[in-house]
Amino acid sequence: MKILLDTQVFIWLVNDDPRLGAQAKKVVVSTQNQVYISFLSLFEMAIKAAIGKLSFDPSIMNDLESMGIELVPGDSASLSQYQVFNEENKDPFDNFLVAVAKTRDYVFLTSDRSILSADASGVSIMDATV
68 pLDDT tier (thresholds 50, 70, 90): very high
pLDDT at position 122 is 84
Cα 36 from Cα 16, distance rounded (Å):
18
pLDDT at position 88 is 74
Structural domains of the chain, ranges and CATH numbers in brackets:
2-127 (3.40.50.1010)
Q: In the predicted model, is pLDDT for residue 117 greater than 90?
A: no
- Between the alpha carbon of residue 65 and those of residues 37, 60, 61, 69, 88, the distances in Å are 11, 10, 8, 6, 35
Cα 35 from Cα 46, distance rounded (Å):
21
Q: In the predicted model, is pLDDT for residue 82 greater than 80?
A: no
Cα 35 from Cα 5, distance rounded (Å):
7
- pLDDT above 90 coverage of the chain, percent: 68
3-state secondary structure of 106: coil
